[in-house]
Amino acid sequence: MDFVTREAWGAPATSPASFLPSARGIKIHYLGTEYASRAHSWCDDVVRQVRAAHLADVKENYVDIAYTGLVCEHGSVFEGRGTHKRPGANGNAELNARDYAICALLAKEGGGLDEPPRLMLHGLRDAIEWLRRDGDAGSWLGGHRDGYATDCPGDPLYAWVQSGAPRPDEGHGDGPDPAGVYTVQVWDNLSVIARRLDVSWQDLAEVNGIRPPYTIYPGQKLRIPDKGAGPEMPPFPGRSAFVLGKSHPAVLDLDDRLIAKGWTRHHDGNGYQRGARFTEYTRRNCADFQRSRPELRADADGYPGPLTWELLHS
């Protein structure tokens, strides 16, 4: 399972939601908005946006993102409220006390990405197994629409849920893998596969958007990075290049790397733009990146040092 913890995507480590000792089972949801397929580096931005929208919802008065977890088209499971926390997405207090709520990042019908790709089904299956293992979830499985008047989670996904939410059959369907893709066969370790492919495990993690704790699973498709992939790393310009309110050409490069890696949630309202001035937005986006990396987490002040610089360019 490619599990992205709350801290890794930029939420406080623990949800303030009420304690939930156990659940009857799990309800599957979808976003149900317009939603286009995108590169995985944007998926955590989407999760942060969902949380921000929920926190801003005065009518529902949410204390946190409403879902227990969210699954993107690339199969990553983003921790929402997490295990043993009452979700807020099932419709009312009684329904929320009964089942966990997992949301697929999927559009409404005709709204873009409206059929679940295979990796998403793997991710949803991972999330179901996670909640049964760690969250004391019972075997009941359904959709938001079960017992509540809504289209959620859409017909294609609901059909899969009703068929028992099976893992996609690896032997059939999509044909042979295109060149440059490696399919994980057994429970294996990223560094072992990297050695087999003769690439660095950091490159392999990077091009596939895999974050700590770097879990992969059988059936997962890994894009094989070009040998020597990754941008050329300019020398670290020194800490004096990064002073709030001051301009330095190295800040342009810093912005490029933050944007390439999807750390862009702080901006002036017009989306995060590159610029030579080291702004508070730059600092906060850089701090998000630092918090996502165990090597940097202890000192995530948003000011890049040599190791932040190196990891941003890896």
- Residues lying near Zn ion in the complex (CB under 5 A): 29, 40, 43, 72, 74, 144, 152
Of the candidates 225, 232, 231, the residue with the CA atom closest to the CA atom of residue 194? 225
Query: Which helix (DSSP H) or strand (DSSP E) does residue 108 occupy?
Result: strand 107-112
- Cα distance between residue 299 and residue 205, in whole Å: 23
Report yes or no: 154 and 113 within 8 Å, Cβ to Cβ. Answer: no
- Cα distance between residue 211 and residue 43, in whole Å: 12
Q: In the complex, what is the shortest distance from the CB of residue 238 to Zn ion, in angstroms, rounded to a whole number?
A: 35
Nearer to Zn ion, 91 or 237 (CB): 91
Of the candidates 5, 26, 29, the residue with the CA atom closest to the CA atom of residue 133? 26
Nearer to Zn ion, 40 or 81 (CB): 40
- Cα distance between residue 159 and residue 61, in whole Å: 32
Q: In the complex, what is the shortest distance from the CB of residue 264 to Zn ion, in angstroms, rounded to a whole number?
A: 15
Nearer to Zn ion, 108 or 293 (CB): 108
Nearer to Zn ion, 241 or 258 (CB): 258
Q: In the complex, what is the shortest distance from the CB of residue 228 to Zn ion, in angstroms, rounded to a whole number?
A: 25
Q: In the complex, what is the shortest distance from the CB of residue 110 to Zn ion, in angstroms, rounded to a whole number?
A: 18
Cis peptide before 153 (omega within 30 of 0): yes
Burial zone of 293 (CB within 10 Å; 0-12 exposed, 13-18 middle, 19+ buried): middle
SS3 95: helix
- CB burial of 224-248 (b: ≥16 within 10 Å; e: otherwise) equals bbeeeeeeeeeebbeeebbeeeeeb
Nearer to Zn ion, 212 or 305 (CB): 212
Nearer to Zn ion, 31 or 193 (CB): 31
Nearer to Zn ion, 50 or 251 (CB): 50
Q: In the complex, what is the shortest distance from the CB of residue 152 to Zn ion, in angstroms, rounded to a whole number?
A: 3
Q: In the complex, what is the shortest distance from the CB of residue 71 to Zn ion, in angstroms, rounded to a whole number?
A: 9
Q: In the complex, what is the shortest distance from the CB of residue 70 to Zn ion, in angstroms, rounded to a whole number?
A: 10
